[in-house]
Amino acid sequence: MSMNSPRELRKYIFDVFLQTSRAPVVEEMMVRFHADRAEIVTRLRELESAHHILLLPGTERILMANPFSNLPTPFRVSAGGTQYFGNCAWDAIAFHVMLDQDVHVSSSCHHCGGPVELDLRGGRNVSDPAKNTLVFLGTPVSKWYDNLVATCSNTMVFFLSQDHLNEWKKAHPGWTGETLTVEKMIDVVTPISKGRTTLEYQMPPRSQLMAYWGSLGLRGPFWKF
């Protein structure tokens, strides 16, 4: 199979993640597309520049293809009998929208380490109603790509409740950010995540994203792209 555009390589990367829960390596891509290493690496750099993937710094190996993580993380997602790793709380929820199917998220509270278990179905959070899991976003949208590893690994996390978040904030007074319910997060991730595994997928323009988030009541400096 020949490769006419980075879009075809992006689709292949996502297909491998879906089937195997891991990223393909350069050599697999070379065989699949009958291309030499230089061409594959050039295409990978193009995909990275467009924020479709992130390479492990200093290597030609894929670290992320959001919402997929190529490394184990505290954000485990089960869907259709397969387990995946998300990069963060945002990505764990994004699997539900991207796959358009029921998912179960297993994670941990960023404050106490206690178990976070979520069931997402039909665009809703159908988990135990007694649980009030929250998502805390600590990096403004405009700063996401300054250091995407830090953004995903450290600043998009779950808390078991508002009390747990409040206790954590007391111990970390310098942190500010946005706190959202799980259901609100499903809405927030939709324009970026919907159809992401398809060949035709394109990242929405920044202006479109800001307008959409504004329609959800999410305005102000934090949400400016």
Q: One digit per residue, pLDDT tens: the chain, 225 residues?
A: 557 788 999 999 999 999 999 999 999 999 999 999 999 999 999 999 999 999 999 999 999 999 999 999 999 999 999 999 999 999 999 999 999 999 999 999 999 999 999 999 999 999 887 689 999 999 999 999 999 999 998 899 999 999 999 999 999 998 899 999 999 999 999 999 999 999 999 999 999 999 999 999 999 999 998
Domain 76-223, CATH number (from 1.10.3720.10, 2.40.50.140, 3.30.450.410, 3.90.45.10): 3.30.450.410
> pTM surpassing 0.85?
yes
- Cα first-last separation, the chain: 37
Architecture of the structural domain at 6-65: Orthogonal Bundle (1.10)
Q: In Å, how far are 8, 48, 83, 160, 203 from 53, measured between CA atoms? A: 13, 5, 20, 30, 12
Start-end ranges of CATH 3.30.450.410 in the chain?
76-223
Query: So what's the pLDDT on residue 5?
Result: 80
Give the integer Cα–Cα distance in Å for 97 and 101: 7
Start-end ranges of CATH 1.10.10.10 in the chain?
6-65
Query: So what's the pLDDT on residue 174?
Result: 87
Query: So what's the pLDDT on residue 130?
Result: 67
Query: So what's the pLDDT on residue 1?
Result: 56
Give the integer Cα–Cα distance in Å for 25 and 23: 6
Query: So what's the pLDDT on residue 2?
Result: 58
Q: Residue length, the chain? A: 225
